[in-house]
Structure 1
Amino acid sequence: MGPPERRRLFEEIYEAHYSDLLTYVWRRTGSPDDAADAIAETFTTAWRRIDELPEGRETRLWLYGVARRVLANQRRGASRRTALATRLRAELTAWQDPAPTAGHDRDAVRRAFRLLGERDRELLALVGWEGLDTAEIATLLGCSRGAVRLRLHRARRRLARNLKLVGSDLATYGVRATEPAKGTS
């Protein structure tokens, strides 16, 4: 069968079965978006396998079978996404401070952090958020460990100064803000 015949056959199948298939998937999804996705995937499969489609009434049943498998895949995908979202929420909750500071304290830290230059922010983030030690940071930045220690010391001093500028006390934020990075001895 040549391309024009294949196209004509597909159009006939589409016209004959679109409405029934839409009803079939709509009743099972209840969502216009999910139904549209299922219909599109079902007819994409029909197009790819046009030479294998059964004839007559069997075509409709074959399309229902494809739609049924597409819907099962959608449900499995939704279950995986829900499980992933639940796992991510749990991980993000674990990343929060065990004893959160008052809202204005967090705001003060954010303001003080934003006042820093880009290099200072990145350096402090590599230590505080990513947990890198001075050797790792030196490799990442392409400089010596001594240079990292010096830059880190200066960045922490500037952060302490900025915290005072925004009306906060550095001690409020615990030792993490002032302790040396791992491997600095």
Structure 2
Amino acid sequence: MEPLDHRKRRFAEIYAACHDPVLGYVMRRTENGHDAADVLAETFLIAWRRLDDVPTGDGARPWLYGVARRVLANHRRGERRRTALGDRLRADLEVSVQAIEDREASGAVADAFRGLSEDDRELLSLVGWEGLDAGQIATVLGCSRNAVRIRLHRARKRFARALADREAREARETRAETHHHARIAKGEHA
């Protein structure tokens, strides 16, 4: 193996001579600049690791094209796997979300919960859905355990108040509807 200074100098020469042509090669074969930058970086990383295999002179550029071609192929395979996984996860999530929405879409509890502030919903969700204790919630929220206990107590009180208000309103609406139907049944009109 060559001394490090010689290796660095040789790599710098190859990089300077081949960067622009390899970048053009990669850009013509990728969808966006981010992908091109990733492929280009990986290509030159491989060239550094395998510097002893890089041909001298005019042979370096075609050798780098070959490396870039293989990196592109790996990148495309990875992208297809990520896309397939993303599609699968979206489909699974859609089913899960729909089931939750169907289960929670209506009713006083869901309405009361949706009426809370974002902070209260998050706090109650961390307890109810994620099953976290005050110490774990403190870590998630970046505050003290005592602050979590206080916030949780207040959030629960607001939720209980909102739920009681919703249930009272539903009860009044039900009584009014029942009274209206009773009047219609007796032949009275509203």
How many Å apart are 1:77 and its aligned residue?
1.3
TM-score by length of 1: 0.62
1:116–1:159 contact (8 Å) kept in structure 2: no
Q: How many residues align?
A: 144
**Bigger radius of gyration among the two:** 2
What is residue 124 of structure 1 aligned with on the other side?
Answer: 128
Amino acid at match of 1:2: P
What is residue 24 of structure 2 aligned with on the other side?
Answer: 23
Q: Distance in 2 between matches of 1:117 and 1:36?
A: 38
Q: Distance in 2 between matches of 1:15 and 1:126?
A: 53
Amino acid at match of 2:13: E
TM-score by length of 2: 0.60
Per residue, is there more helix in 1 or in 2? Answer: 2
Q: Distance in 2 between matches of 1:17 and 1:75?
A: 23
More contact order relative to length (CA 8 Å, sep ≥ 6): 1
Residue 29 of structure 2 aligns to a residue in which SS?
helix
Structure 1 stretches of 4+ with a deviation exceeding 6 A read none
What is residue 42 of structure 1 aligned with on the other side?
Answer: 43
**What is the RMSD computed on CA atoms of the aligned residues?**
3.6
Residue 129 of structure 2 aligns to a residue in which SS?
helix
CA offsets per residue over residues 12-41 of structure 1, 9 Å max, x none?
111111111011000000311111111111
Amino acid at match of 2:163: L
Residue 96 of structure 1 aligns to a residue in which SS?
helix
With over 3 angstroms needed to count, the CA separation of the structure-2 counterparts of 1:85 and 1:59, relative to structure 1, is same
Which residues of structure 2 form unaligned runs of 5+? 132-155, 171-190
Write out aligned runs for 1:33-112 (5 A). Answer: 33-98=34-99, 99=102, 101=105, 106=110, 108-111=112-115
